[in-house]
Amino acid sequence: MPWRALITAVLCALWLAGPGLVLAQSGGNEHRVALIVGNASYKQSPLRNPVNDARAMRDKLKRMGFQVVYFENLQVRQVGSALREFRNAIRPGSVALFFYAGHGLQVRGENYLPTVDAELASEEDVPYQALSLSAVLNTMEDSKAAVNLVLLDACRNNPFARNFRSQAQGLARVQAPSGTLIHYATRPGSVAEDGGGQHGTYTDALLKQIDEQGVPIETSLKRVTIRVREVTKGKQEPWMEGSLTGDFYFAGQPSAPLLAPAVPVHSASDEAAWLASESIGTAAAYQAYLAEYPQGLYAAAARIKLAGLSAPAGGGVTPALVSPLPAATDSSGVLDPVPAGTRDADGFTWRDVQARGGSEHYEAYLQRFPRGRYAAAARTALRRLAAASGTSTIAVAPTPTLGAEPQAWEAALQGHSLTAYQAYLQAYPKGRYAGQAQAAIVALRQAAAEPAPVVVALAPRPQPQPQQQQQQQRQLPSAEREALRTAALRELSLARLTGADFTMGAEADEQGEDGQPDTTAQPTRTVRVANFEMAYYELKVGQFRKFVDATDYLTEAEGAAKPGCHVPTRGGRWELRADANWRDPGYGANHKQTDGHPVVCVSWNDVQAYLQWLNGNPSANAGSATSGTTERYRLPSEAEWEFAARGGTTTPRPWNEAPGFFGRIWGVARLGSKPERPVSRSCGYANVADDALRTLLDWPDTLNCADSYPYAVPGGYFSDNNFDLYDMIGNAAEWVQDCWNPNHQTAPRDARARHSGDCTRRVVRGGSWASPTASIRSAARTNQPHAYRASDLGFRLVRSAQP
């Protein structure tokens, strides 16, 4: 049966099933109730923004169809009334939302939202003079609401802390009931700022995000997290707990029908024309494709290709067909480049813009897509931002101003002199590169003052001695070197994992890359893991850069006898490219690496050198078989890594791979789907080898799904696991400490790393954006020589739990 006929038949069946069948909580059709509380006028430590936040949320939610129960500066005598009114408004099957802005505190692991007239002389007073978060959750659950949402901008400093025995800051983690989603303004146990504008930082991001049409709540809150993290430069990161059993949209329906394909209609002639234009690879060839198939399956990819090519001799690129990406926009980093192979470049860019939310981002969108689907919305957003800032107008037409500063900075880097950097600062005293320019001036002046000359190696770099990584120390003052190390330590953020017994290894029916049972991960065995701490994210480029800046360390990709890093090429092949290293891992011009990406192209030896520096011992032997095991920060053992990756699950992957009824129907209808290539749910949880990589590099072994990212992404783009850790599966594969052994037969039962076996090779875990599909499992393991480096291989830090 043709897939269009199949979809029609399914839709007819759903219609005949009657109104009792609910597919999703779509925007605006369900009964919606919200309790909103804004507390600012405290007797101790009053706040500026919570009432503004509460009023703005009240007005916005009313426009979205919510029945609002509203309290401003809640007092002790009003707590019971607030809960009673909220309970009475909720019907079985309602969407129930609680928004709170104000002070929050925890007592013995319970969260309380103090009233403005609270007089808390001790912890015992808190339950009687505050709104209990547990009471709110119980009210929602007892009322049988279908969707429960809790949004807490309640992580300011506790003004009553001096009266309490406990010094815990912020709010405690809550075990969210089924069907409940809790979003904190910052991590549990951390504090957030009240904000310097009209609204708190978190609420301001919420107000800008939640009315985006057709975006599920989880994605909407994820974009709020990205926005807050960027505005606060990483100092504040919102946090999510719990999950919903259905879909909920604040505004609008999903951007595509539930069972309809979200891509243009495919045809054999369309694909043939695209393959022909790809094989030629010129601007004229892509123009010819677009002229024939302006709405074709590969139209967005053709426009992306054209954006990176010069116009053909004797003719220009037709404006009606192409919305070119200005070169200045790429270099500025205002927007991420669109991944090659993305079928909806317009939508991809708009989602990026919405997540960032600054006027410069909306302007950049309009430069790329002046006639785009979201152009009107972008102009509306610019007018709103102009009004909020008191500016009468904001230019939205393409203007050279957007790229002027990046061009000036590039000129300063090329000149690399006091005069060049000072010229940049004179033109942009508060520019985005001002800090780097000032640091460069300081470094140049210090270098000039040193008694010994400083040689900048622009020619071939010195080669390492056998069995030892050669390092060339600059004459950087020791105080500056130590300041870089201190900054690197301060940037580390680790989750505390409570140890337990767990079953390590693959079950008998788990298949490896050869399609046979994965004997390398057998036998299963019970392992006891002690408490330890693990980084929320894979180590980032910006963090590794501090190490290099402090020590002038040359990675093995830069200084080895055979330099370079392994990068993927078409057809699933890998090649050692001499010019690829941690600074530029070979993703290409359309997929530039940022400081937020996981650092890759580092060998196991490089990792040991980094650990020794981080732990204050930069002169130790980087290649020692036991180095890094006794220091404060280290690589995880295999057992620790697998315990963290599983997050308490026992299935091959931390997520459920089996699709439901509608997933199976869509799998039949999805283009390219075959019984031997079932549709995968992995792209919703991890950055894996998918359709984006298959389209870009003709990658042979990919999962049948699309996450739009062919290469690595910055940490946090995909969901975290049950232990709050990101990218344990996918994104970059990760070195661990263990020597390679062909199975788990002799593995310690106390989770220690193995220092016996083949110690010329080290274990790699987690799979990556390019790994075979069989590697996307918690138990999967592979190995590489300790000097190996690849553009999909990085690492993550751990340390033993502090007493």
pLDDT in tens, 398-422: 333 335 776 676 666 656 677 777 8
Q: Is the pLDDT of residue 461 over 50?
A: no
Look at residue 459 and tell me whether its pLDDT is greater than 90: no
pLDDT for position 721 = 86
- Per-residue pLDDT at 511: 83
- Does residue 576 have a pLDDT over 90? yes
* pLDDT confidence band for 193 (50 / 70 / 90): low
Minimal CA–CA distance to 120: which of 38, 39, 44?
A: 44
Give tens-digit pLDDT for 96-133.
999 999 988 887 778 889 999 888 877 778 888 899 99
- Strands (DSSP E) contained in 485-599 are 494-497, 500-504, 525-529, 532-535, 565-569, 573-577
Residue 672 half-sphere exposure toward CB, CA atoms < 13 A: 16
Contact present, 488 and 546 (Cβ < 8 Å) = yes
Q: Given this model, what pLDDT does residue 444 score?
A: 63
Summarize pLDDT for 437-453 with one digit per residue, the tens.
776 676 566 555 533 33
Instruction: Say what the pLDDT of residue 796 is.
Output: 97
Question: For residue 458, is pLDDT > 50?
Answer: no
Whether the Cβ atoms of residue 78 and residue 116 lie closer than 8 Å to each other: no
Alpha-carbon span 246 to 268, nearest angstrom: 37
Q: Six-digit token pair at 567?
A: 């990068």
Task: Kindly provide the b/e burial profile for residues 172-202, where b requires at least 16 CB atoms within 10 angstroms of the residue's own CB.
Answer: bbbebeebbbbbbbbbbbbbbbbbeeebbbb
538: nearest Cα among 768, 693, 268: 768
Top pLDDT among 389 and 430 is at 430
Mean pLDDT within 71-82? 91
Query: Tens digit of pLDDT for each residue in 718-735?
Result: 878 888 899 999 999 999
Q: What is the mean pLDDT of residues 301-312?
A: 61
Q: What is the mean pLDDT of residues 7-16?
A: 40
The predicted model gives 772-791 an average pLDDT of 93
Say what the pLDDT of residue 790 is.
96
Question: What's the whole-number mean pLDDT along residues 477-489?
Answer: 84
Strands 494-497 and 239-243: unpaired
Q: Tell how strand 130-132 and strand 110-114 pair up.
A: antiparallel
pLDDT at 479: 80
The stretch 735-762 carries a mean pLDDT of 92
Max CA-CA distance within the chain?
87
Structure tokens at 172: 């405690």
SS3 string, 201-236, reads: HHHHHHHHHCCCCCCEHHHHHHHHHHHHHHHCCCCC
Average pLDDT over residues 764-774: 93
The stretch 167-187 carries a mean pLDDT of 73
Sign of the torsion angle spanned by Cα atoms 726, 149, 682, 649: positive
The residue ranking higher by pLDDT, 751 or 317, is 751
The answer on pLDDT for 265 being more than 50 is no
Neighbour-count burial for 475-504, b at 16+ CB within 10 Å, e otherwise: ebeeebbeebbeebeeebebbebeeeebeb
Q: Where is average pLDDT lowest: 554-563, 624-633, 773-782? A: 624-633
SS3 content of the chain, % helix, strand, coil (to 5): 35, 15, 50
| Contact predicate 25/249, CB 8 Å | yes
Q: Is residue 317's pLDDT more than 70?
A: no
Question: Measuring CA to CA, how many Å separate 124 from each of 165, 166, 170, 488, 549?
Answer: 11, 12, 18, 40, 51
- Cα–Cα distance measured from residue 61 to residue 211, given in angstroms and rounded to the nearest whole number: 9
Burial of 731 (0-12, 13-18, 19+ CB in 10 A): buried
Interatomic CA distance for residues 718 and 154, integer angstroms: 25
With a cut of 90, say whether residue 484 has pLDDT above it. no
Specify the pLDDT at position 601: 97
Inter-axis angle of helices 201-209 and 217-231, to 10 degrees?
140
pLDDT at 334: 59
What is the predicted pLDDT for the residue at 373?
Answer: 65
Give me the sign of the Cα torsion angle 482, 485, 490, 496.
Answer: negative
Please give the pLDDT value at position 611: 94
Q: Looking at residue 462, what is its pLDDT?
A: 41
Higher pLDDT, 465 or 282: 282
> Which two tokens mark 369?
């897509």
Give the bridge partners for 681, in sequence order: none
Q: What integer pLDDT is reported at residue 687 of this predicted model?
A: 92
Mean pLDDT of 182-209: 78
Model confidence at 33, in pLDDT bands (50, 70, 90)? very high
What pLDDT shows up at residue 214?
A: 79
Q: CA 228 to CA 207: how far, in whole Å?
A: 12
Write the DSSP string, 242-293.
EE-SS-BBSSS--SS-SSS-SSPPP-HHHHHHHHHHHHH-SHHHHHHHHHH-
Q: What pLDDT does 530 receive?
A: 93
pLDDT at residue 335, as a whole number: 63
Nearest CA to 172 out of 103, 127, 109, 130 is that of: 109
pLDDT attached to residue 310:
40
Give the mean pLDDT of 80-89: 90
CB atoms within 10 A of CB 524: 16
Mean pLDDT value across residues 449-461? 33
pLDDT tens track for 589-623: 888 898 889 999 999 999 999 999 999 874 433 33
- Which position has the higher pLDDT, 429 or 192? 429
In whole angstroms, what is the distance from residue 336 CA to residue 591 CA? Answer: 8
Residue 309 CA to residue 302 CA, distance in Å, equals 11
For the chain, give the mean pLDDT: 75
Residue 693 host element (H or E): helix 691-697
Q: What are the tokens at 81?
A: 């009334």
CB 434 within 8 A of CB 417: no
